[in-house]
Amino acid sequence: MKKQFIQFVAFFLLSIQLSAQKAPNIIVVLADDVGTGDISKYRSLHTDAIKIETPNIDKLATEGMFFTNAHAPAALCATSRYAIMTGNHNYRSPLPWGVWSGYAESVFTPETMTLGRLMKKADYQTAFIGKWHLGTDFGRHSNPTKPYRTRNKNKIDLDLNIEKIIGGGPMQNGFDYSFTLPSGIQNVPYAVYENDQWFPLRKDSQIGIINKLYMESLGIELDKNQGLGDSKWNPKQIGPLLVNKAVDYISKKAKEDKPFFIYYCSQAVHTPHTPADELNGIKIAGTTPSKHMDMIKELDVQMGMLVQELKKQGVYENTVFIFTSDNGGLHIDGDTWNARHEPSDIYRGCKNDPYEGGSRVPFIVSWPSKIKGNAKTNKPVLGLDISATIAAIAGVKLEENEATDSYNLLPILEQKKKAKTHPFVMLQGGSAKQTMIIENGWKLIIQFDKKDKSDATRTPVALFNLNENVWEHEEFNLINNKRYQRKVNYLLKKYNDTRDGKKPTGYHF
């Protein structure tokens, strides 16, 4: 009798503890220009010749679920980031193509459901850390409240005031805390902002001009435009700065009543390839065959630091950790190729291409208290599925006009037998203005007329059968084979009907 009473009390106390447990913390990590071949867990599916190990990211996959048929919404970063942030395909944006500068007008309105606003709706503490690249407002010294817009990229306008973000940034779009770079490490302004205020990199920092000569003095090639920035700008310092801010945020928020949501957009592995000398006591720069691969190692160490802090604070088991990338891998580093590292794994193409290597990305979800470890699925998923998935996890309802193309992946994560995902996938290419539709392994590439701003002129240019060897079958273009004309017409009509009919392609339930 006494034993039964003790068991009853123990069960009662456990029930109270479980009922009192808060909703899970959620961390979404968006890597920059990381292909499936950059992650050793994915690369090992096709070869034993691994050139760079990513043990921390691999462990997330081992302890959770990893998706082997995942795509970024677009093969180029800014457009992909819009889709991930909103859960909407790029064609629903007022600016569906191209890359926005750090001084571009934001495409978000106060009514746009962003990841930040979504999680605020779920009563989460929200933080954005890293590369924004979705447009930002800065004022002028002569007119502090009027947003500055770039007129001449080659001219440095000294009237521009970059000491404060006045609109269009993370804090205006649902994030309580922001530590951000408007254009990442690759473009103007070359500065970091904490809660909209310029964050000086050193005590003696001033606003100065970052040009080719200055970057050469650091041994770095200027990647994009010269312009205003922190006089002590050094992109090698940015990765450690970002991850330590994220670690600090976790340590401060983990014990609070409200759960937290972090959208962490790493600087790695975008150019310029400027790996940190050391991070978390681990040597980075010069420890792999290329600077590009050093950046992959730095990214992996960053992920290890986030997990380490979650475990230190005792919240790892109740934290959803999603890792993916904004587009496919890079093919620009000769040392990487000489080392026989394959950023795109077995897939044709790379970032900015309409081929699989342009949009195939790692997609990993870890939630130790809910997801059975070492789970793998080949179901098709997109980065824009993050919205509906975290909404379901947080228990918040999305309206019909919100995240219209986002698919709730929670049933898949729970490994329910009848769990569904996209019956077909629509993607966007890069600067060549192409889109893709994939259904049952058949892929159609559609070329848009660059001169037609209405996007009404669409021509099918390639048809591939991805059902067998993906690389081989994306070499053989079947577009002019009469045998497959019905398939071409069917996929083109499906794309046009879906897009022009403004049909939602997501599922929230």
pLDDT tens-place string over residues 373-413? 989 999 999 999 999 999 999 999 999 999 999 999 999 99
pLDDT tens-place string over residues 47-88? 999 999 999 999 999 999 999 999 999 999 999 999 999 999
Which is nearest to 396 in space by CA: 88, 83, 29, 120? 120
pLDDT tens-place string over residues 309-364? 999 999 999 999 999 999 999 999 999 999 999 999 999 999 999 999 999 999 99
Q: What is the pTM of this model?
A: 0.95
Residue 482 near residue 365 (C-beta atoms within 8 A): no
pLDDT of residue 471: 65
CB neighbours of residue 452 within 10 Å: 11
Instruction: Label residue 96 by pLDDT band (50, 70, 90).
Output: very high
The single-letter DSSP state of residue 365 is E
pLDDT tens-place string over residues 428-445? 999 999 999 999 999 999
Lowest mean pLDDT among 6-20, 60-74, 137-151, 226-240: 6-20
User: E strand or H helix at 375, and its extent?
Assistant: strand 375-377
The percent of residues in the chain predicted with pLDDT above 90, rounded, is: 90
In our burial notation (b when 16+ CB lie closer than 10 A, e otherwise), range 323-358 reads: bbbbbbbbbebeebeebebbbbbbbbbbbbbbbbbb
Sign of the CA dihedral 194, 196, 201, 204?
negative
- Paired strand residues for 267: none
Name the 3-class secondary structure at 262: strand
